[in-house]
Structure 1
Amino acid sequence: MPSNPASGALYMLRGIRLLMRPGLKRYVLIPLLVNIAVFGGGIWLGAAGFEHLMSQMQANIPNWLAWVEWLLWPLFLVAVLVIVFYSFTLVANLLAAPFNGLLAEKAERLITGQPVGDDMGWAKLLRELPATLGDEVRKLLYAVLWSLPFLILAFVVPVIGPLLWFLFTAWMLTLEYADFPMGNHGLKFRQMRATLRRRRLLSFGFGATTAALTAIPVVNFIVMPAAVAGATLMWVRDLHKVAADT
């Protein structure tokens, strides 16, 4: 596929269809349950926190400024949605990382018909658990450090700030999910970033579609396993060629 945003979006959508293939469903179960638990809790906490915040605002805003409340409602609602869904995406991926790596390995084998090095299996998954979680922590620190300036811009600079935040989120989600198939082939975090930068438009298309689906309640439950499958397809069809030249 050519390197453009539409192609990246298509990989993400094809990931949803790939989950339905025979032989893959059982590897989807644990990431799916983790995503449901984390996002279910995130939605509940976000709704409770938003309600408390608005009640505090109503108690402290003078009557003559009551009209401001109607302007702030949509702004705070968007802010809560962005922060909750982005934060809980990172948490869900951290918890499900070992199983996502296994899902990516099985998805690639299904796509290509070839094993990915040594068959990962459950025993290998347990052996590599500390290294996998260490990689996830490094990605999490990278995400947190870079999210701070973009988050500030999102609140301070109208229109441009939220747009930059969305693009940053798209980039981070692509990094997050592409890591699973690329990591199965021994690529380090720096190599992954270099590879994805060489397919920047493709990467942003994949990440933007993932971010948009993540913000849709109920649909977001299947986003994590679908994104892992979609990123694996993107690796097989496109990114592995780029990585070989990086």
Structure 2
Amino acid sequence: MRDFGVGFSYLMKGQRWVGTHGRWFGLGLLPGLLTFLLYVGALIGLAYGADDLVGWATPFADDWTSPWQGLFRGFLTGLLFVLGLFLSVITFTAVTLLVGQPFYESLSEEVDRTEGGEVPESGLPLWRELWISARDSLRILARVACYGVILFALGFIPVVGQTVVPVIGFCVTGYFLAEELTAVALQRRGVELKERLQLLRGHRMMTIGFGLPLALAFIVPFVAVFLMPGAVAGATLMVRRLEGAEDGVGGVDGVGESTDGAPDSLAGTWPQPPGHGSDMTY
């Protein structure tokens, strides 16, 4: 549980960082606001068209007597809208990061710069970075979908499905939210998706501690827009901590310090994979 608290502390540090760097907070709001408006429009369209869509998909129920037809189609309409909300929550971060790639990468670089030490750069053109982000996001969403199917099936188990399964679901969502957010800083360091997942699995509770509060907060409309800049900043700070841990400098036990008492931001240099900064083939 201590590592969980460490992850949460980095989320708070990120919010404080953007709070003291108002210009970057303002710039970081723009992609989230644009994505939020797009999602609101899509959900409004879904709300208006869900009845017709369910009716078109269930022609076999046209001859059902009342109230069974209304109950059945009403249940499916509600389920469809809930599914839309769920998809909006798990995809909001990925889409916002994709839309705001230049903004958030600059914000992440500024965090590295102000915290001291090296400011890693990917050395890749923008279109290549966007392609990598989109590709990796789709892979993550596929993983989330697999977990979602399993948890949906487990949700029909009495008691457990109404208590334990929702908690696990939020933890899974938070874990992958943290992966998406740390990807901004890790991608600049040349760390591939497979290595990113291995790194976060090695610090699972810290990752959940960072992402779970965001998953819960993102349920509330518009909150995600205001938390995104600080979440990116906090994820960058956490990556700086993890790179120190990977180098054997510091670790998860002492928040913000290396083994010699140096600040977290000065701890270690990320080991670069072969081909980092060159024209790699993906």
Q: After TM superposition, is the score higher than 0.5? A: yes
Cα distance change, pair 7–74 in 1 and its aligned pair in 2 (3 A): farther
Q: Hey, what does 1:3 align to over in structure 2?
A: 3
CA distance in structure 1 between the partners assigned to 2:226 and 2:178 by the alignment? 16
Find out whether 1:12 has 2:11 as its counterpart.
Answer: yes
CA distance in structure 2 between the partners assigned to 1:75 and 1:161 by the alignment? 17
SS in 2 for 1:19: helix
Check the 8 A contact 2:175/2:211 in 1, yes or no. Answer: yes
How does the TM-score come out when normalised to structure 2?
0.71
Superposed displacement of residue 114, structure 1: 3.5
Check the 8 A contact 1:42/1:85 in 2, yes or no. Answer: no
- AA in 2 matched with 1:201: M
- AA in 1 matched with 2:133: E
Alignment of 1:94-109 (within 5 A): 94-109=98-113
Q: Hey, what does 1:206 align to over in structure 2?
A: 210
Superposed displacement of residue 35, structure 1: 0.9
Which one of 145, 150, 153 corresponds to residue 153 of structure 1?
150
Find out whether 1:83 has 2:87 as its counterpart.
Answer: yes
Check the 8 A contact 1:154/1:163 in 2, yes or no. Answer: no
How does the TM-score come out when normalised to structure 1?
0.80
Find out whether 1:244 has 2:241 as its counterpart.
Answer: no
Find out whether 1:46 has 2:43 as its counterpart.
Answer: yes
CA distance in structure 2 between the partners assigned to 1:31 and 1:208 by the alignment? 21
Alignment of 1:1-246 (within 5 A): 2-4=2-4, 6-22=5-21, 25-54=22-51, 62-65=65-68, 66-67=70-71, 75-110=79-114, 112-117=115-120, 128-158=125-155, 159=161, 163-236=167-240, 238-244=241-247
Superposed displacement of residue 176, structure 1: 0.9
How many residue pairs get matched? Answer: 235
Check the 8 A contact 1:178/1:228 in 2, yes or no. Answer: yes
Check the 8 A contact 1:170/1:207 in 2, yes or no. Answer: yes
Greater CA drift, 26-35 or 66-75: 66-75
Superposed displacement of residue 191, structure 1: 2.3
Unpaired segments ≥5 residues, structure 2: 56-60, 156-160, 249-270, 272-282
Asked which structure has the greater CA Rg, the reply is 2
Partner deviation per Cα, 1:83-136 (whole Å, 9 max, x = no partner): 1222232211112123212111101222x234515xx6xxx98x6313321320
Check the 8 A contact 2:105/2:184 in 1, yes or no. Answer: yes
Superposed displacement of residue 71, structure 1: 5.7
CA distance in structure 2 between the partners assigned to 1:8 and 1:216 by the alignment? 21
Cα distance change, pair 182–149 in 1 and its aligned pair in 2 (3 A): closer
- AA in 2 matched with 1:215: I
CA distance in structure 2 between the partners assigned to 1:45 and 1:72 by the alignment? 18
- AA in 1 matched with 2:45: A
Cα distance change, pair 221–167 in 1 and its aligned pair in 2 (3 A): same
